[in-house]
C-alpha cells in the first residue's frame, strides 16, 4: 500500500474515532439512569455494560440516519462491505485480535455474533438482489434495524428472553418487560438525539406497534440474531 493511501486510511480512522467520541459525549452515563432503573440495574459493572451496549446500538442508528438514501447499487455495496467485515471478524487470525483480554465465554460470543452477522448481511444482500430495482431504503428502516439491537442488548443484560409487547384483558395499552425497557431506551435516544426524532415512533403506542410489526420473524436471518441462548439449547 502506498504512503499516500496509508495516510488517507489513517486520517479516515482518526475521523471515525473522533466521531465516535463526540457521539459518546452526547450520551453520558447518567443519561441512561432511567433505562437502568427500568431493568433494576444497580451493579456498576452491569451498568457499564448496559451503557456500552446501548451506545453501540444508538451509534448504529445514528450512522444510518446520517447516511443519505443510497442508490440500489450503493446499498448493495454497503451490504457486501458489512458482510465481508463480519466474515473477516468471524474468521480472523486470533493473533491479530487481543483475545487474551477477553474471557473464554466472551471470545466465543464475539465469534458467534460475527458469524451470525455475516449470515444476516448475506441474507439481506440476497433479498435486495431479488427485489425490484425500484426498491429503496425507507426513512424509518434505521429504527427498524435498531429494534434488533435493542432485543439483543436486553437479553444480554437481563439474561431473559425478550418478548414482543402484549395486551392484557381489561387493561389498556401494551405490556411486557422488554417493552418497558424499549420505552426507556426510546426516551433516552429522543432526549439526546432530537434531530432524528422524526425517524422514531412518535408515541409509546406507536413504539409498541413498531416493535410488533417489525419483530424479527422465525426462519429469518434477523431472528437468528436475537435468539435467546436457552432457546438454542446452549
The residues near 159 (Cβ < 8 Å, ≥ 6 apart) are none
To the question of pTM greater than 0.75 for the whole model, the response is: no
Q: Which residues contact 233 (CB under 8 A, 6 or more apart)?
A: none
| pLDDT score, position 137 | 45
As a residue count, the chain comes to 234
Q: Could you tell me if 158 and 177 are in contact, meaning their C-beta atoms sit under 8 angstroms apart?
A: yes
CB 165 within 8 A of CB 176: yes
* Residue 138 scores a pLDDT above 50: no
The answer to whether 184 and 35 have CB atoms below 8 angstroms apart is yes
Mean pLDDT of the chain: 81
CA atoms within 13 A on the CB side of 81: 6
3-class DSSP state of 219: coil
pLDDT value of residue 69 = 55
Amino acid at each position: 500500500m502506498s504512503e499516500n493511501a496509508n495516510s488517507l486510511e489513517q486520517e479516515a480512522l482518526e475521523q471515525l474515532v473522533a466521531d465516535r467520541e463526540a457521539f459518546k459525549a452526547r450520551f453520558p452515563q447518567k443519561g441512561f439512569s432511567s433505562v437502568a432503573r427500568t431493568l433494576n440495574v444497580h451493579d456498576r459493572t452491569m451498568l457499564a455494560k448496559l451503557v456500552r451496549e446501548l451506545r453501540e446500538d444508538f451509534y448504529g442508528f445514528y450512522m444510518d440516519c446520517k447516511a443519505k438514501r443510497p442508490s440500489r447499487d450503493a446499498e448493495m455495496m454497503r451490504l457486501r462491505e458489512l458482510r465481508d467485515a463480519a466474515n473477516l471478524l468471524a474468521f480472523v487470525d486470533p493473533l491479530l485480535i487481543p483475545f487474551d483480554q477477553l474471557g473464554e465465554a466472551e471470545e466465543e460470543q464475539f465469534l458467534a455474533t460475527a458469524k451470525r452477522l455475516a449470515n444476516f448481511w448475506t441474507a439481506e444482500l440476497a433479498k435486495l438482489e431479488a427485489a425490484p430495482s425500484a426498491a429503496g431504503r425507507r426513512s424509518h428502516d434505521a429504527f427498524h434495524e435498531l429494534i434488533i439491537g435493542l432485543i439483543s442488548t436486553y437479553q444480554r443484560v437481563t439474561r431473559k428472553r425478550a418478548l414482543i409487547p402484549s395486551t392484557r384483558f381489561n387493561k389498556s395499552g401494551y405490556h411486557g418487560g422488554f417493552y418497558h425497557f424499549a420505552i426507556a431506551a426510546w426516551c433516552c435516544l429522543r432526549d439526546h438525539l432530537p434531530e432524528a426524532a422524526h425517524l422514531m415512533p412518535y408515541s409509546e403506542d406507536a413504539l409498541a406497534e413498531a416493535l410488533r410489526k417489525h419483530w424479527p420473524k422465525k426462519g429469518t436471518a434477523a431472528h437468528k440474531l436475537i435468539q435467546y441462548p436457552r432457546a438454542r439449547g446452549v
